[in-house]
Structure 1
């Protein structure tokens, strides 16, 4: 039985992850599971990178990402369903943060989209491929 579903979306893709979010919600609803949605921002805190940004840039980016993630969930699934979702904005390498979030949330299933495929990834996006390869729980890839 699935108790928790983690859906990974990229808010920079606009509404392209809508079908991924819808599939994750449907799978969570089938099992009566908690739905968590995560989006990952790049790490601007590296010493050589951070010098190019204002001191409070990261905090503003986190707040804006949280707003966009909440809006994406509400516009895709409706405001009533959105109230029951745990929204997570992480910072770092996408696949590592998705796996870390899944572990800390106790997720039994990760739902992710297959974006930006490259031949070397065998028609699966690089982050999705890494999540599939390194996950200790089931991964549902939406194409």
Structure 2
């Protein structure tokens, strides 16, 4: 059983979120905590000039609202929204928060993963704590 679980959230598939939360709740020790984490990728400077003035603030607020909804739907869970590179930022947050488990969803591997790697692959390879990967 784990006392500090991080569940990185990508909003592309609600069924993966539900599956990850179910696993996290099953592996959570009594009195343990679950944190939903979403990483907003940094927008390159050459792109930011073409976006509306309040794009980052409104995106952050919309993601916060979705995470609040998810956290309440799956029982007591906290949530965080952080900006950065997804794989590295998940690992940094896990280390600084003292996480002992990361429950992360993964897509089916394809050619692009052999060449570029995925967030889940990066987390599995470099994590200092246990990682549970869902497909």
Determine if the TM-score, normalized by the shorter chain, exceeds 0.5: yes
2-structure distance, mates of 1:137, 1:31: 19
- Given the two structures, how large is their TM-score scaled by the length of structure 2? 0.85
Matched positions, count: 133
1:112 and 2:104 correspond? yes
State the Cα distance separating 1:119 from its structure 2 match: 4.5
- SS of the residue corresponding to residue 33 of structure 1 reads strand
Q: CA deviation at 1:15?
A: 4.2
- How far did residue 133 of structure 1 move? 0.4
More helix by share: 1
> What stretches of structure 1 move > 4 A for 4+ residues in a row?
119-122
Q: Is the 8 A contact 1:118 1:126 kept in 2?
A: no
Which position in structure 1 is the counterpart of 2:36?
37
**Measured at CA, do residues 15 and 69 of structure 1 come closer, stay the same or move farther in structure 2, by a change above 3 Å?**
farther
Are the counterparts in 1 of residues 71 and 78 from structure 2 also a CA contact under 8 Å?
no
The answer for the alignment partner of 1:62 in structure 2 is: 60
Stretches of structure 1 lacking an aligned partner (at least 5 in a row):
none
Q: How far, CA to CA, are the matches of 2:45 and 2:92 in structure 1? A: 23
Indicate the RMSD between aligned Cα atoms, in angstroms: 2.1
- Aligned to 1:21, what secondary structure does the other structure show? helix
- Which has the larger share of strand? 2
- The residue aligned with 2:70 is 72
Tell me the alpha carbon deviations over residues 21-70 of structure 1, each in whole angstroms, 9 at most, x when there is no partner. 22112211x353111110112212x3112111122211111110011122
Report the TM-score, using the length of structure 1 for normalisation.
0.81
- Structure-1 residue corresponding to 2:10: 10
